[in-house]
């Protein structure tokens, strides 16, 4: 089954404790992206990747890092999480450019205390 998976689905952590949210897709998509969803703000793009070893900032990259060492994986790293990063995070992928239809993962709900 074609899908985008994220782990963990729920995470509670404390300020400053590094964490990684994994994202994996099995559709051989070149483009992958991370978004955060906050009430009233919709989804805002954090980072995106056009292909392996090619990443770029989205609209809200501060406090986040990403890597794309393999085509199927695109982890999101929070080196020192803060409470304002409490949010719902979605990973997405598409065939090539970001202008194609994106397929979303199930989301990761993060609470930073």
Site for another protein, rule CB under 8 A: 31, 33, 35, 40-45, 48, 50, 56, 58-59, 90, 92, 97-99, 101-102, 104-107
CB of 67 to another protein, least distance (A): 18
Query: Which residues contact residue 63 at a Cβ distance below 8 angstroms, ignoring those fewer than 6 apart?
Result: 78, 79, 80, 81, 82, 85
Q: Closer CB to another protein, residue 55 or residue 85?
A: 55
CB of 75 to another protein, least distance (A): 18
Q: Is the peptide bond before 8 cis (omega within 30 degrees of 0)?
A: yes
The C-alpha atoms of residue 29 and residue 87 are separated, in whole angstroms, by 26
Find the Cα–Cα–Cα–Cα dihedral 64, 37, 93, 95, rounded to 10°.
Answer: -120
Q: Closer CB to another protein, residue 50 or residue 111?
A: 50
Q: Closer CB to another protein, residue 1 or residue 99?
A: 99
């Amino acid at each position: 089954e074609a899908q985008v998976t994220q782990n963990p689905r729920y995470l509670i952590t404390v300020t400053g404790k590094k964490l990684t949210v994994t994202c994996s897709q099995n559709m051989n998509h070149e483009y992958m992206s991370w978004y955060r969803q906050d009430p009233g703000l919709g989804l805002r793009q954090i980072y995106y990747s056009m292909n392996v070893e090619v990443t770029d900032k989205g609209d809200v990259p501060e406090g986040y890092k990403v890597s794309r060492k393999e085509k199927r994986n695109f982890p999101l790293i929070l080196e020192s999480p803060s409470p304002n990063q409490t949010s719902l995070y979605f990973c997405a992928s598409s065939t090539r450019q970001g202008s194609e239809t994106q397929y979303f993962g199930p989301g990761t709900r993060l609470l930073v205390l």
